[in-house]
Amino acid sequence: MVRRYILILLLIFFGGCVTKKIIYNVYYVKPFDWYPKEKQDSTIKFFAPNYKGLKIFLDPGHGGTDRKNRGPAGLAIEADLNLKVALYLRDYLQRAGAIVNMSRDRDTFISLDDRSRLANEWGADIFISIHHNAPGKPDDIYTNYTSTYYHATTKDYEYDHSSHDIARYIQRDLAYAMGNSGGLGSFDGTYSDYWIYPKAGFSVLRKTNGPRVLIECAFHTSAYEEQRLIIDEFNQIQAWGIFKGLGKYLRNGIVTLSLEKDSLNLMKDKNLSILINDRNIGIDTTFYIAQIDTQNVPITFEINKNLKKLKIPLNQNLSAGTYELKVVVRNVNGNHSFPFRKKIIFY
């Protein structure tokens, strides 16, 4: 009888240990184009013509006094994961010929305002904020997915099509590299930041000028994911996913717009003329958005072999003053033009 009780007690004791401490066998795949090193070099070389000279600003979230976000075992600290992935990404980008700047390259506190200000002052072509996620319920140690955020929604004036394009490309290859899905809230794993903060979004996406995205690589709060995130090699694979996603986006061509003349003489100019630089990919003339002070205006394309322009006929009733012009076009591969919002002055 006594022996039986001891056996039951032993079962409860060791059984309890097993259920309390879950040991995961973590699993990930080394991408075939990343390992061995020669494959990695040739992949970087393949994307290099598209990365060359591009100014990319990396923003590893948190850091310094802001280090409280961590995994359930206390091993993964979000601030450190963000920095590690960003530093590996910087290495890939620089090897591909991109010019990289960072809001921080070590464990230090940078305010949200400064992150955007530094990127804007530097004149970043593309801004990428890197984070790891946490669920609404603090005791949830299971939720885990990869998500990428763009600012505002398709219905908002603030929305930028090119940021959403970049988010889609990064999300697809990062989620694939990590072996994660994109969560329940969207089909492709990209989300508006209004989903988190309605009508406001994330500060770094709201205040940065150019194409900008914020990546939540995975949930550091997932007991399983935490075990992977603390593996250095896995952080490199995360960065590789971002590098390849952005590289594929760039291969489909970026489009930039510029005003032919900064200010206009209303008496003489009948058209507002905008130059299109599509890197010779070709423009899809079935799509455009053109607005003066948020009012839609018509445009005409003038596409020649050597010069691509669009013209906006000026309403001669417009009085002298300052207006905001917003234009979006897209190339034949579906990539939209970088944000173009300019103050125009009529004399």
Which residues sit at the interface with Zn ion, rule CB under 5 A?
A: 61, 131
Taking CB positions, which residue lies at the least distance from Zn ion? 131
Closest distance to Zn ion from the beta carbon of 61 (Å):
4
Closest distance to Zn ion from the beta carbon of 204 (Å):
10
- Cβ contact 279:254 at 8 Å: yes
Closest distance to Zn ion from the beta carbon of 182 (Å):
18
Our CB check for Zn ion shows the closer of 180 and 335 to be 180
Give the separation between CA 126 and CA 58, rounded to whole angstroms: 9
Our CB check for Zn ion shows the closer of 215 and 292 to be 215
Our CB check for Zn ion shows the closer of 61 and 241 to be 61
Our CB check for Zn ion shows the closer of 54 and 76 to be 76
Distances (CA, A) of 328 to 41, 239, 302: 36, 30, 15
Our CB check for Zn ion shows the closer of 115 and 164 to be 115
Per DSSP, what are the bridge partners of residue 263? Answer: 345
Give the separation between CA 335 and CA 326, rounded to whole angstroms: 17
Closest distance to Zn ion from the beta carbon of 222 (Å):
15
Closest distance to Zn ion from the beta carbon of 79 (Å):
8
Give the separation between CA 276 and CA 255, rounded to whole angstroms: 7
Closest distance to Zn ion from the beta carbon of 343 (Å):
34
Closest distance to Zn ion from the beta carbon of 264 (Å):
44
3-state DSSP of the chain? CHHHHHHHHHHHHHHHHHHHCCCCCCCCCCCCCCCCHHHHHHHHHHHHHHHCCCEEEEEECCECCECCCECCCCCCEHHHHHHHHHHHHHHHHHHCCCEEEECCCCCCCCCHHHHHHHHHHHCCCEEEEEEEECCCCCCCCCCCCCEEEECCCCCCCCCCHHHHHHHHHHHHHHHHHHCCCCCCCCCCCEEEHHHCCCCCCCHHHHHCCCCEEEEEEEECCCHHHHHHHCCHHHHHHHHHHHHHHHHHHHHCCCEEEEECCCEECCCCCCEEEEEEECCCCCECCCCCEEEECCEECCCEEEECCCCEEEEEECCCCCCCEEEEEEEECEECCCCEECCCEEEEEEC
Closest distance to Zn ion from the beta carbon of 115 (Å):
12
Distances (CA, A) of 146 to 93, 122, 181: 21, 29, 6
Our CB check for Zn ion shows the closer of 61 and 71 to be 61
Our CB check for Zn ion shows the closer of 65 and 277 to be 65
Our CB check for Zn ion shows the closer of 131 and 161 to be 131
Closest distance to Zn ion from the beta carbon of 133 (Å):
7
Our CB check for Zn ion shows the closer of 84 and 131 to be 131
